[in-house]
Amino acid sequence: MGSQISDQAAERIRSVSPFPDGRVFLCSSGSESVDSAIKIIRKVAILRGEPERQIIFRRGRGYHGVNVGGTTLQGIPANREGGGDLLPKVLEIVSTNIESAHLFSKNMVKYSWSRNPKLSKGRRCLPPPDGFLEGLRRLAMTTVLSRF
């Protein structure tokens, strides 16, 4: 449910998308979009008959916002401290090493990964090195890994 303006904006975005049957989901913030993406990716796995596909990788020193989902996915320990129990089934991979994700893929049945190359505000957040995201994409295409 949205307003006329948000509906028009969504339709305009969809109309220039390469996906003719695509859908547009608007959020109020990046943090909200991360929380929503977690729910969507897990719901899609359930609808596809793969309810076990619940594990999400977070990238060490990655920043994903300050809502519960984004805080859980952050690879910045200081930002997670004091938040109590956050979301379950989240594993951290080395932020500069595609092999760490590959090692997990050999030992996991199915999982998802979160990517956000955004730098942390005022903290030392490490962006992924050249080729890292492409390596994860290749891994996703050759294993049972899914991503968002």
Whether domain 4-147 has CATH 3.40.640.10: yes
Span 60-86, pLDDT tens digits:
777 888 888 888 888 788 888 888 888
For the entire predicted model, the pTM comes to 0.64
Q: Which residues of 68-86 are buried (b: 16+ CB within 10 A; e: fewer)?
A: bbbbbbbbbeebeeeeeee
pLDDT of residue 12: 93
Residue 148: pLDDT above 50? no
Query: Would you put residue 84 in left (φ > 0), alpha (ψ -120 to 50) or beta?
Result: left
Most confident segment among 4-13, 14-23, 32-41, 98-107:
4-13
The model's pLDDT over 94-117, given as tens digits with 9 standing for 90+, comes to 766 666 666 655 544 444 445 554
- pLDDT the model gives residue 11: 92
Distance (Å, rounded) from C-alpha 72 to C-alpha 118? 16
Does residue 118 register a pLDDT over 60? no
- Give the residue with greater pLDDT, 143 vs 9: 9
- Distance (Å) of CA 18 to CA 21, 22, 36, 138, 147: 9, 8, 22, 21, 19
pLDDT tier at 124, thresholds 50, 70, 90 = low
Instruction: Give me the pLDDT at residue 105, please.
Output: 56
pLDDT for residue 144: 46
